[in-house]
């Protein structure tokens, strides 16, 4: 039941990620083009299959691949030898890329429109090998502590150099495949490996050194695929090409039969199998450790296979046909501005909803101590993608050569690399890779191929590819501009803000960790004084929440934090990893002066009968370094350390009045000094 609830959650998230695309498409289809596509039913079914397949795929990743993969990354980051870390990095890059669904679709599409000269399987092997090499090189850089921009700039020079020798039919495809490689499967495992290494190696910074592996994985395929293109177009004779044409995979017509489903599942199994082999080899042979919950891991792999097949099938039925149809309709319109507006809107909306980007943005905010705002980072990345796709559409309409645009873009990136703050550079490089998702890639690729097919004088192979490359390039520019802007505006980290506020308020002893800093009467006036605090934790059924809070309030508690509690019994503890549980209990957290603890716990356990017939758990533990809690003056007077058991009489009231007068004077002195 809990796994089913978890699947429903992933299903909602999958369709949430599809929603921005659907909204943009509906707007342009109904308001601008003002027609209903003939194959709208097939498209709707395809989109539904994409959403369901993506949810199944992600659940398989969560319960099968990620737990073991992340565990391996942590083990090698902490204990692995130099050579084994490099080998692991290569194999993880290769294994995750060969299973990438977006790469499979783009490779099949390239094979189809090249009349078989480009072999889909060989192309995927080339790309996977290049990503494996990229991760190996990136891991080596983290271990050695080399600045990332030296590697990236050298890579850009190689990309541009090879471009002048590569056949024009392969250039756009090569640039696109640099963005396709870093998506649903690759990003989480690769990011975990990089940050884990940078955190575990002494002298490395998780922000500066931990990011960047995704950038490497986006760069090397451009070089390797162009070299592959040079070999194919110059060394393969006509006879060999004609044989390839006979076996070329054409994905335009989708026929669903029991045999086709079985064949598709077998094909996907062959793609996912390398990841399983890599994980089992390193887990049992190298680390010599057993995998916990082995049945769950294999179930996860089975779900990944089913989800991948459904995902690819849905793309063929839905997004590709829809993208090509809309591209045809847009090219028949009277204004090319509509094409650019559609490209911009698709780029911006899909990127803002991209799960991989959300994860990277949150991690960037976390390890930058709040200096990088996650929403602002996503906004600048989405803006870069939108500009890139719109410019890429202009390039197809105008008929310009893609490498001129890309070369100018790289020059801008290199210039900004020397102007932007150092901490933003690896994040900017990585942002170019995470923007091209398993949902975005097929639609954008279909748009480019559709435009090139329907505009006179354009070639689907030469001009149709390249939009993904633009979507990967421009976020690097906009994110580095974001870093320059926040530096110019003087944006501070959370620690710097707190230090500035302390200095501004001239708060006496705020940094004295032996004193508690409290807000007086819940207002903005603060003071530091000796007090002991404890945490009282109450776990009760959800329907008893109000009773427990009322009982604590009667005993003097003035605030509570309410959290949902996921319960799991002994019978389910062996399958807890990456599992979602239904919250039936609540956890109530009270932060109280230590002298108030007994009174509050007694009131709650008696009211809820916890020690007799009722259900629940109550416990307390001492706290240290209390900063920021709100208390009223009476509780401060009563429970401060230097107060000795006040009796409820005139003398204690006089003492309390005197204490309040002294407290007020200290607060006023502090305010005047600031």
347-383 pLDDT, tens digit each: 887 787 666 677 677 777 877 767 888 888 989 998 9
Q: pLDDT tier at 22 (50, 70, 90 boundaries)?
A: confident
Cα–Cα dist 239/241, whole Å: 5
Rounded Cα distance between 152 and 50, Å, is 35
The 10s digit of each residue's pLDDT in 492-517 is 766 666 555 544 444 445 567 778 77
Residue 70 in this model has a pLDDT that exceeds 70: no
Q: Is 419 a residue whose pLDDT tops 80?
A: yes
- CA dist., res. 482 & res. 499, Å (int): 24
* Residue 402 pLDDT exceeds 60: yes
- Residue 190 near residue 96 (C-beta atoms within 8 A): yes
Q: What are phi and psi of 589, to 5 degrees?
A: -115, 120
Question: Is the alpha carbon torsion for 505, 509, 511, 517 positive or negative?
Answer: negative
How far is Cα 431 from Cα 425, in angstroms, rounded to an integer? 10
The span from the first CA to the last CA of the chain, in angstroms, equals 59
The pLDDT value recorded for residue 380 is 93
State how far the Cα of 639 lies from the Cα of 644, in Å rounded to an integer.
Answer: 9
Q: How far apart are CA 515 and CA 625, in angstroms?
A: 7
The predicted structure's pLDDT at residue 456: 78
- From CA 45, how far away is CA 51, in angstroms rounded? 10
Q: What is the DSSP letter of 455?
A: S
CA angle 66, 70, 73 (to 5 degrees): 145
Phi and psi at residue 645, to the nearest 5°: 40, 75
The DSSP secondary structure of 26-73, one letter per residue, reads HHIIIIII----TTHHHHHHHHHHHHHHHHHHHHHIIIIIHHHHHHHH
Strand, helix or coil for residue 304 = helix
* DSSP H helical ranges for 332-466: 336-352, 355-367, 374-398, 402-419, 425-434, 440-454
pLDDT mean over 31-52:
77
**Residue with the two structure tokens 């290199």:** 414
Tokens at 287, concatenated: 């680390």
- 254, pLDDT greater than 90: no
- What the block records as the tokens of 9 is 């959650």
Q: What is the pLDDT of residue 53?
A: 83
Which residues contact residue 639 at a Cβ distance below 8 angstroms, ignoring those fewer than 6 apart?
531, 532, 593, 594, 595, 596
Backbone angles phi, psi at 535, to 5 degrees: -105, 130
- Give the Cβ contact number of residue 649 at 10 Å: 8
Q: What angle do CA 224, 225, 230 make, to 5 degrees?
A: 100
Q: How many residues does the chain have?
A: 674
pLDDT reading at 50 higher than 60: yes
pLDDT, position 129: 92
Judging by DSSP bridges, how do beta strands 516-520 and 627-631 pair with one another? parallel
Residue 476 CA to residue 215 CA, distance in Å, equals 10
**pLDDT of 251 over the 50 cut:** no
pLDDT digits (tens, 9 = 90+) for 605-638: 888 888 887 788 899 999 888 887 888 777 777 7
pLDDT for residue 147 is more than 70: yes
* Nearest in space to 163 (alpha carbons), one of 179, 174, 152: 174
pLDDT band at 667, cuts 50/70/90? low
Q: What is the pLDDT of residue 248?
A: 29
**C-alpha pair distances (Å), 491 with each of 204, 207, 306:** 24, 17, 46
At residue 167, the pLDDT reads 83
Identify whether the C-beta of residue 97 lies closer than 8 Å to the C-beta of residue 186.
yes
- How much is the pLDDT for 239? 38
Whether the Cβ atoms of residue 76 and residue 88 lie closer than 8 Å to each other: yes
The beta strand positions in 611-666, using DSSP E, are 617-623, 627-631
pLDDT of 108-139, one tens digit each? 777 776 666 778 888 889 998 998 998 899 88
Q: Are 194 and 131 in contact (CB under 8 A)?
A: no
Q: How does the average pLDDT of the chain come out, rounded?
A: 76
């Amino acid at each position: 039941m809990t796994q089913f609830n978890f699947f429903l959650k992933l299903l909602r998230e999958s369709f949430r990620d599809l929603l921005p695309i659907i909204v943009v498409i509906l707007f342009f289809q109904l308001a601008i083009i003002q027609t209903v596509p003939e194959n709208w039913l097939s498209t709707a079914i395809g989109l539904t299959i994409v959403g369901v397949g993506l949810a199944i795929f992600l659940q398989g990743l969560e319960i099968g691949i990620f737990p073991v993969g992340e565990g391996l990354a942590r083990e090698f980051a902490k204990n692995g030898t130099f050579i084994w870390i490099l080998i692991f990095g290569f194999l993880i890059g290769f294994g995750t890329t060969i299973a990438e669904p977006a790469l499979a679709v783009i490779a099949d599409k390239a094979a189809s429109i090249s009349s078989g000269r480009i072999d889909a399987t060989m192309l995927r092997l080339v790309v996977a090998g290049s990503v494996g090499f990229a991760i190996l090189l990136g891991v080596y850089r983290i271990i050695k502590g080399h600045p990332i921009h030296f590697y990236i700039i050298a890579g850009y020079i190689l990309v541009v150099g090879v471009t002048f020798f590569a056949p024009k039919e392969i250039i756009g495809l090569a640039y696109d495949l640099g963005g396709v490689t870093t998506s649903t499967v690759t990003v989480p495992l690769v990011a975990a490996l990089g940050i884990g290494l940078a955190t575990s190696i002494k002298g490395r910074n998780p922000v500066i050194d931990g990011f960047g592996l995704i950038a490497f994985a986006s760069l090397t395929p451009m070089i390797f695929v162009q070299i592959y293109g040079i070999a194919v177009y110059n060394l393969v004779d006509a006879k060999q090409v004609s044989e390839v044409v006979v076996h070329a995979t054409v994905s335009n017509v989708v026929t669903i039969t029991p045999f086709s489903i079985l064949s598709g599942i077998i094909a996907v199994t062959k793609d996912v199998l390398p990841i399983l082999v890599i994980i089992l080899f390193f887990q049992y042979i190298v680390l010599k450790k057993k995998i916990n919950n082995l049945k769950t891991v294999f179930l996860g792999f089975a779900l990944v296979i089913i989800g991948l097949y459904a995902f690819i099938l849905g793309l063929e039925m839905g997004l590709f046909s829809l993208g090509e149809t809309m591209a045809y309709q847009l090219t028949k319109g009277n204004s090319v501005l509509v094409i650019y507006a559609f490209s911009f809107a698709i780029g911006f909306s899909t990127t803002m909803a991209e799960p991989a980007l959300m994860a990277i943005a949150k991690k960037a905010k976390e390890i930058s101590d709040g200096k990088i705002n996650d929403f602002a980072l996503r906004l600048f990345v989405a803006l870069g993608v939108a500009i890139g796709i719109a410019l890429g559409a202009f390039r197809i309409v105008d008929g310009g050569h893609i490498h001129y645009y890309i070369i100018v873009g790289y020059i801008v990136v290199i210039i900004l690399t020397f102007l932007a703050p150092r901490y933003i550079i690896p994040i900017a490089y990585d942002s170019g890779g995470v923007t091209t998702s398993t949902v975005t890639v097929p639609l954008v690729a279909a748009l480019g191929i559709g435009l090139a097919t329907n505009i006179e004088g354009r070639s689907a192979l030469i001009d149709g590819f390249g939009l993904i490359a633009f979507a990967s390039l421009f976020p690097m520019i906009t994110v580095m501009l974001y870093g320059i802007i926040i530096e110019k505006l003087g944006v501070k980290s959370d620690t710097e803000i707190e230090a500035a506020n302390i200095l501004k308020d001239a708060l006496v002893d705020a940094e004295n960790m032996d004193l508690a800093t409290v807000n007086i009467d819940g207002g903005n006036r603060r003071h530091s004084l000796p007090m002991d605090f404890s945490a009282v934790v109450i776990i009760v059924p959800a329907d008893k929440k109000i009773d427990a809070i009322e009982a604590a309030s009667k005993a003097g508690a003035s605030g509570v934090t309410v959290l949902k509690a996921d319960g799991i019994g002994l019978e389910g503890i062996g399958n807890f990893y990456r599992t979602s549980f239904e919250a039936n209990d609540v956890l109530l957290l009270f932060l109280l002066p230590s002298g108030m603890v007994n009174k509050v716990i007694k009131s709650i356990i008696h009211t809820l009968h916890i020690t007799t017939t009722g259900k629940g758990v109550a416990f307390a533990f001492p706290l240290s370094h209390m900063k920021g809690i709100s208390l009223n003056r009476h509780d401060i007077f009563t429970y401060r350390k230097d107060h000795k058991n006040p009796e409820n009489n005139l003398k204690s009231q006089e003492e309390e009045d005197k204490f309040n007068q002294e407290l007020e004077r200290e607060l006023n002195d502090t305010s005047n000094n600031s």
